[in-house]
Amino acid sequence: MDDSPAPAAGAGPAQRRGGRWTPLLLLLAIGGASLFLAAGPIRGDCGFRVLTGAPCPGCGMTRAVLALAEGDAATAWRMHPAVFALAAAVAAAVAAAAHEGITGRPSFRRAAERHGVRAAVAAAVILGAVWTARVVLWPDGSPDPLRPGSPAERLLR
């Protein structure tokens, strides 16, 4: 005889896992926290840049997102070309999460399970390629130049 409690009547799989609006609310919370950190009172320098003297692979992304939000695509591209891939990925994630919330079907969860690892690898490759182009191949074109006298500057010059 099984002593486990029966699920509540009418509770579907999405409701048992925390609600069908959870993915959308989580994405909105992460986006809000990112905007607060980007535009809020917290200021500082990137730890990667402090250690190496070179900009990190994501340096310029916040400025690119803010420029894109203002409609300045040229500045966004100059600050960080990967901002357009990021914007497309965020739009797709929000659309899937909203679809899941509206329909109750686990479309966001399925997409994350199916494409999450590939998306992470693609993001790492794109960020690595942009970083290599900016720091190694064309350092004068970077919005964040190498710090004079830093380990990266001595190694790459």
Ranges of each domain in the chain: 19-30+51-156
pLDDT interval class at 101 (50, 70, 90): confident
* Helical residues (DSSP H) of the chain, grouped into ranges: 13-16, 22-39, 47-52, 61-69, 73-79, 83-103, 107-131, 151-156
Task: State mean pLDDT over 68-76.
Answer: 93
Verdict on whether the full-model pTM lies above 0.75: no
pLDDT value, residue 58:
85
